[in-house]
């Protein structure tokens, strides 16, 4: 087990029972007593704390806007980024296979372990302490919350843009799927039925490919709108 003193310094909390932090750092590939139960608990604590923070900081935002803010803050990439900020990966206990494949750098493993840490703090010292740790680690992100429009994904923004001019909604179709099961590449088309315009997006998941195709369509629509203004 690596020295956990530095990690506790980065978290801003000293554990009364260090075994809880050790468990939070143990991936299921490394032993029977792993961090998945703590992850479950930490996820719930994190969601509540962040929900309260965005509610408090954005008093005029709608429920939908608050939900998007929270989702943006507690998603896998945000959790993994915080885990990297505090050097969590170097303290993970991983099985041989995960160790060889670079599991200590993988977003999913880092995010899960970060949630497990929050769960461990909650068990060790209660909700108020866990909330303090979470808000401390999230402070830079909470102090620079993005505007609502930035949080909307391209598919949502495209739909709203089309609805605002009473145009039909786009259709999405998978054109191609390449690669093995765990490394697939999707090629998706976004098409507008009223003009037969089509754009294509490629990504490692169908959802992300659809978002990229929608983003490309937004660029086309924005260019048309700009051309109309200057024409």
Catalytic residues: 43, 115
CA distance 38 to 120: 6
The torsion angles phi and psi of 152, rounded to 5 degrees, stand at -70, 130
User: What residues does 185 pair with on adjacent strands?
Assistant: 178
What helix, strand, coil percent values describe the chain, rounded to 5? 65, 10, 25
Burial class (CB in 10 A: 0-12, 13-18, 19+), 111: buried
CA distance 160 to 131: 36
Nearest one of 153, 151, 226, 224 to 192, comparing CA atoms: 224
Name the helix (H) or strand (E) containing 40. helix 36-57
Nearest one of 65, 43, 45, 44 to 54, comparing CA atoms: 65
Name the helix (H) or strand (E) containing 114. helix 107-125
Are residues 111 and 43 in contact, defined by beta-carbon separation less than 8 angstroms?
A: no
Are residues 191 and 197 in contact, defined by beta-carbon separation less than 8 angstroms?
A: yes
């Amino acid at each position: 087990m690596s020295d956990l003193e530095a990690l506790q310094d980065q978290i801003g909390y000293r554990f009364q029972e260090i075994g809880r932090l050790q468990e939070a750092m143990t991936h299921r590939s490394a032993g029977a007593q792993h961090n998945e139960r703590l992850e479950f608990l930490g996820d719930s604590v994190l969601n509540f704390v962040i929900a309260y923070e965005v509610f408090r900081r954005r008093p005029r935002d709608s429920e939908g806007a608050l939900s998007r803010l929270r989702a943006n803050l507690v998603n896998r990439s945000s959790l993994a980024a915080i885990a990297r900020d505090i050097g969590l990966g170097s303290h993970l206990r991983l099985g041989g296979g995960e160790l060889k494949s670079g599991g200590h750098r993988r977003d999913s493993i880092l995010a899960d372990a970060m949630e497990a840490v929050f769960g461990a703090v909650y068990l060790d010292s209660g909700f108020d302490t866990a909330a303090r740790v979470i808000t401390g680690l999230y402070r830079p992100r909470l102090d620079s919350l993005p505007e609502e429009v930035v949080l909307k994904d391209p598919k949502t923004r495209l739909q709203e843009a089309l609805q605002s001019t009473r145009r039909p909604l786009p259709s999405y179709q998978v054109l191609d799927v390449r690669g093995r099961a765990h490394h697939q590449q999707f090629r998706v088309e976004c098409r507008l039925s009223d003009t037969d315009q089509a754009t294509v997006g490629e990504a490692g998941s169908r959802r992300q490919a659809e978002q990229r195709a929608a983003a490309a369509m937004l660029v086309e629509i924005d260019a048309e709108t700009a051309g109309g203004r200057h024409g």
